[in-house]
Amino acid sequence: MAEGYTLGIDVGTQGLKVVVYNISTHEIVKKAGVAYDIIKTSVPGRAEQNPQTWIAALTTAVVEALDGLDRGCVKALAVSGQQHGLVVLGEGDEVLRPAKLWCDTESAAEAEELSAKFGWKLVPSFTITKLLWLQRHEPDTYAATRCVLLPHDYVNWWLTGRKIMELGDASGTGVLDVEGRRWDTAAMDAVDARVRELFPPLVDSPDQAIGAVRPEVAAQLGLPAGVLVGPGSGDNAMSALGAGAAADGAIVVSLGTSATIFAKSPTAILDPTGIICPFCDATGNYLPLLCTLNCTRVLEEVREAFELDHEKLTQLAEADAAGPGCGGVTWLPYLIGERTPCWPHASGALLGLRPGCLRPGLLYRAAMEGATLSLLGGFRRMVAAGLRPGAQLRLVGGGAKNRLWKQVVADAFGMEVVLPAEPDSAALGAALQAAAAFEGATVSDYVSQHSPPMLDQVIKPNPEHRAAYEEALARFEALAQQLFAQA
């Protein structure tokens, strides 16, 4: 068996993480991370980052993660990245402007226009809506653009010198023929004649390295010559690998700044309403996915308002007499608008309040349930569209650390909840892909054979709470439609 390490690098919205994976023991031996933020702005809907921020964070985190280890044993690495972000390069490959991120909703009007042209619902997150926004609002920058990359593609280019996209991340551009696994040139042409020239070639194989780290970059990172670079993918596809979701129907829920639910499927699940994204995964299969914009930040609002920590708020929520369903209180959590459903101009709303309802524990639970019910409705839609779910749900992300939230998810979904032992599932997924590329294995086989361990704890649903959550979901969806569907 090969000796050595692989690196998994996750380029997130709030920071970059690196894990060092031992190929022999199949364990993470070191971790490091660097925090950063979105560029501060007063422009409504704008969310941008400078790509150089990612490179600086990567350099710092890799050096820190390898401190005390034999750097000569690093064999391969791969990159997971926040999806949808628009990075535009000009002549000489210079970055022309800050990257517009997945949570940037300035392109809401362009999303509506392209939805009508394409015949399916695009949300402002999709990269092509941001490119059309650039053409409309910054025509000089658009004219100077020579290449469009996604965040993880940009890091791959910096590492290897190759400009490519792989299918999992390219699924979030809005111009990929997901079933055909190729660029949708008709959709590109419907936007602008130049678009075909701007997107790089696709790499269809998730199992082969795209190249090696450039010598000058290897020297900067303290890596040996010839370190392989896997194709990487978007953070959700990588998180599926890191959570061990290798079997058909394996479901992952991620509770982070945004929330996602996705599942491995042997076939594409197409949804013209745009509620379910028909993404490719990182194994050559598919990853139907739903993403909401408002998750842990909603609970942060309660914490800040009452100046209590999350543990105290959890205790109060557990003890609150309202219990599951919050006694009819519904929190529609759309604080920054919403991606799913595509309501960029929606706002948060607290409904069903009675005297005495403004209790910190009740509001904390209502925030938790609102974020969960947003995902549950999408999951029901996936199943109706043909997904055959497994018996368990894997829970990842910062919210998965909260004991009450774990139980809320189990009760609302009516499924057993298990937790991967490694919380940084996207970074681990990237390290597993890199290990598969180094050993010449398929990613799917490698993850199946070396499945990441789960914690011993299994959270079982309480059948006594099922009716309360069914009622809460019906109330949540009806109120959301009444308030925002026609906005």
The tokens for 334 are: 């759309």
* Nearest-angstrom CA–CA distance, 125 and 341: 12
CATH label of the domain that carries residue 102: 3.30.420.40
Among 266-275, 311-320, 323-332, 456-465, the minimum mean pLDDT is found in: 266-275
Q: What is the DSSP letter of 283?
A: S
Nearest to 288 by CA among 168, 149, 369: 168
In a shared domain, residues 152 and 279: no
What is the rounded CA–CA span in Å between residue 294 and residue 201? 33
Model confidence, pTM: 0.88
Give 185-221 as a DSSP string: HHHHHHH-TTHHHHSPPEE--SSS--EE--HHHHHHH
Per cent of the chain over pLDDT 90 is 82
Q: What would the two tokens of residue 431 be?
A: 């390290």
Tell whether 191 and 49 lie within a shared domain: yes
State the average pLDDT over residues 48-74: 97
177 and 206 both lie in a single domain = yes
Q: Say which range, 201-205, 271-275, 350-354, 376-380, has the weakest mean pLDDT.
A: 271-275
Residue 487 banded pLDDT, cuts 50, 70, 90? low
Same domain, 180 and 254: no
User: Are 178 and 262 members of one domain?
Assistant: no
Per-residue model confidence (pLDDT) at position 1? 42
List, as one string, the DSSP characters of 94-161: -B-SPEEPTT--TTHHHHHHHHHHHTSPPPTTSHHHHHHHHHHH-HHHHHH--EEE-HHHHHHHHHHS
Query: Does 83 fall in a domain?
Result: yes
- Choose one of 182, 213, 233: the last residue of a domain: 233
Q: Is residue 440 situated within a structural domain? A: no
Check pLDDT > 90 for residue 437. yes
For range 149-159, the mean pLDDT: 98
Contact in structure between 219 and 59 (CB atoms under 8 Å): no
- Catalytic positions are 235
User: What is the mean pLDDT of the segment spanning 389-401?
Assistant: 90
First CA to last CA distance, the chain: 59
Instruction: Give domain status of residue 95, yes or no.
Output: yes
Q: Among residues 191, 211, 233, which one ends one of the domains?
A: 233
Is the Cβ–Cβ distance between 358 and 326 less than 8 Å? no
Kindly state whether residue 82 falls inside one of the protein's structural domains: yes
Q: How far apart are alpha carbons 9 and 260 in whole angstroms?
A: 20
- Distance of alpha carbon 468 from alpha carbon 464, whole angstroms: 8
Is 487 domain-assigned? yes
The segment with the largest mean pLDDT, out of 235-249, 303-317, 375-389, is: 303-317
Domain end point (choices 214, 233, 252): 233
Assign residue 344 a region: left if phi > 0, alpha if psi is -120 to 50, beta otherwise? alpha
Task: Report CA dihedral (154, 158, 159, 162) to the nearest 10 degrees.
Answer: 70
- Give the model's pLDDT for residue 145: 98
Give burial (CB, 10 Å; 0-12/13-18/19+) of 487. exposed
Q: What distance in Å separates the CA atoms of residue 310 and residue 361, rounded to the nearest whole number?
A: 10
Are 402 and 300 in a shared domain? yes
Domain range for 389 is 244-420+453-487
The packing angle between helices 296-306 and 310-319, to 10°, is: 90
pLDDT band at 340 (very low <50, low <70, confident <90, very high): confident
Is residue 42 located within the same domain as residue 190?
Answer: yes
In this structure, are 121 and 222 located in the same domain? yes
What's the angle, vertex CA 447, arms to CA 212 and CA 170, rounded to 5?
Answer: 55
- pLDDT band, residue 54 (cuts 50/70/90): very high
Give the contacts of 361 (CB within 8 A, at least 6 positions apart): 313, 315, 316, 317, 318, 319, 320
What are phi and psi for residue 304, nearest 5 degrees?
-70, -35
190 located within any domain: yes
**ω into residue 341 within 30 of 0, thus cis?**
yes
The DSSP secondary-structure symbol of 38 reads: P
Same domain (yes/no): 289, 402: yes
Tell me whether residue 203 is exposed, middle or buried, using C-beta atoms within 10 angstroms of its C-beta: 0 to 12, 13 to 18, 19 or more: middle
* pLDDT reading at 486 higher than 80: no
Banded pLDDT at 423 (limits 50, 70, 90): confident
Q: Are 189 and 308 members of one domain? A: no
Q: How confident is the model at residue 2 (pLDDT cuts 50, 70, 90)?
A: very low
In-domain check, residue 238: no
Contact between residue 349 and residue 368 where contact means Cβ atoms under 8 Å apart: no
Q: What is the pLDDT of residues 3-51, one digit of tens each?
A: 799 999 999 998 999 999 999 999 999 999 999 999 999 999 999 999 9
Cα–Cα distance for residue pair 383/210, rounded to 1 Å: 35
Which candidate, 114, 135, 180, 127, places its Cα nearest to that of 154?
Answer: 127
Residue 159 pLDDT grade (very low, low, confident, very high; cuts 50, 70, 90): very high
Which residue's structure tokens are 């904390």?
A: 364
Q: Which two tokens stand for residue 208?
A: 């082969």
Shared domain check, 219 and 252: no
Instruction: Please tell me whether residues 227 and 249 are part of one structural domain.
Output: no
The structure tokens listed for 73 are 């044993």
Closest by Cα among 229, 207, 214 to 74: 229
Mean per-residue pLDDT, 143-156: 98
Number of domains in the chain: 2
**Is 447 among the domain residues?**
no
